[in-house]
Structure formats: C-alpha cells, structure tokens
Amino acid sequence: MAKIEELLQVMVQLRDPESGCPWDIKQDFASIAPYTIEEAYEVADAIDRNQLGELRDELGDLLLQVVFHARMAEEIGEFGFEDVVQSIVDKMIRRHPHVFVDDGVDKPVYSSTEELNRAWELQKSRERASNKATDPSAVVSPSALDGIALNLPSLVRAAKVQKRAARVGFDWQEIAPVVAKVHEELAELEQELQDVGTSESSDAEQAVNHDRVEDELGDLLFAVVNLSRHADIDPEIALRKATDKFGKRFRLVEKQALSQSLELSSLSLDALDELWESAKKAAAKPDSVAT
C-alpha cells in the first residue's frame, strides 16, 4: 500500500494548481478518457506478444489512468481512489457468493461453467435494476441491453448486444439460418452497389445511395459478428489476426518487389497478384519472417 500512496501523492502534486504540471492540471474526464482506452489496448498488445516486461509497464500506465480519474473526482467532491477500490471489492464479493459467503449461509454450488455464467449475469442484471431504481435520471423501463457502453469498439459492442438479446431468447438456435442471414445481407449490399457511381444519378441521388450502401454494409458486418458468435469465435480477435496476416504478407510483397527493383504502384494487377501468391507461399513456411 505504501507504493500506492506514493502514486496517489504523485498525482496530487501533478494536479496542484500552483506547482503542478500545466498539462495535467488542464485535463478533465473527457480529455483523459482516450488515453485510458489507449493504455488498455497497449496492455492487451503486450499480452498478445507475450512481453511480460512490457506488460508490467503497461499495467502501471493503466493504473495511472485510474488514479488520474479518481483524483479529478476527488477534487470535485465525488469520490476518491479508496472509494474506487472499495467499490470493486464489494462488487467481486457480491458476484462470487460461491467463494465469499456470510457466516451461517450455505454457499451456492454450480455444476458447470455455463451455470456459473448465468448466475453471474443474473447478479449483474439485478445490479443494473437496482442502479436504475436509485437513479432519478434513469429510464423507467429496464432493457436487456442496459449497461453496454456506447464507445466500445464496434465489433465488441455488436457481440455484446447480440449476447444480451440471446439471453432473453431473441436468437437462432442453429447456425444455418445465421449463415443464410449473412448471404441475405451480402445480396442486399450487392444490389445497392450496382447503382453506385452511375453517370445518370444526381448528386442528391448519389448521397442517398451512399447512405443505403452504408446501411447495408453495417447490416452485413452485424450479421458476420452474429455468425462469429454462433461459431464461438471472438470477432475482434479474428479480425485482428486477419489484419496481422495481411500485414505480414504485404510486407513480404514489398520485400519481393524491392529485391526485384520494382515499384508496387507501377505494377499491373496481374503482377501484383503474382507477388501476393508468392508471399502467401512464403508466409506459410514455418521459418518465414516478415521484415
């Protein structure tokens, strides 16, 4: 706890109106929020790359974000760091009655991970309902979608929305209709794309068509997320891996072009495709390294 106290005092000094850092002093919750998100991603990145030394440092950066927000809240009399800690301690005990239990009360027993997850979600829904009951600004009618942050990455938020809807029965029970929905949404997108860029369309019509394409593309992405959920695949991880795979192959294409004194921008599509296929084969080799 001594080190935590030292960190808290560092933040107090940084935010001191008279002797603190000008940058830190002028920050508020909104301006710091993007840094908080960025630090969380850097933690995840260090874990993905199995860099535990970096993970230690990134966790420190993320902890600083918590301290920063808590200090700003304390300055306006809302809550402090100790309140943040107490809140999460209470929540973890409340959500784990099978681990933490009052004297004289039998611990619940869960026969499977699925049963444990259902109990976890039930407790969360009770907490959301309780929060609404004590919040005068809350919407009266509770929703299964309550509590899902609006600024989550879109793939993550789509998956969460779908999972919540599924818990109340709004879901397909088999994967076949989910696949069919992807095909349906793709067909609708293709239909809209047929009219894009036609010379006969006015600027106003082009704008409307662009909005329709955007709408259909969103539907397609949402359907693909639903398919990934039914296939028990995290769409965020799947897309990140696909992006990484493309990046490695593209770097190999660049390397091959450089070795042949070729400029990618001047090559034909056939030539680029040839380099791409060669890169795919090279990347498939265990000892291949993209530079």
Dump pLDDT digits (tens) for 91-150: 998 888 888 877 667 777 777 877 777 777 777 777 767 766 666 555 556 788 888 888
Average pLDDT of 189-216? 77
Contact, 81 vs 8, CB < 8 A?
A: yes
- What is residue 168's predicted lDDT score, i.e. its pLDDT? 84
Q: Where are the domains of the chain?
A: 2-95, 154-233, 237-284
Please give the CATH superfamily to which domain 2-95 belongs: MazG-like (1.10.287.1080)
**In terms of Cα–Cα distance, which of 1, 5, 8 is closest to 67?**
8
Per-residue pLDDT at 287 exceeds 60: no
Residue 132 CB partners (closer than 8 Å, separation 6+): 138, 139, 140, 142, 146
Convert the pLDDT of each residue in 203-245 to its tens digit. Answer: 666 677 889 999 999 999 999 999 999 999 999 889 999 999 9
Q: What is residue 141's DSSP assignment? A: S
CATH of the domain spanning 154-233 = 1.10.287.1080
Please give the model's pTM, rounded to 2 decimal places. 0.66
Q: Do domains 2-95 and 154-233 have the same CATH topology?
A: yes
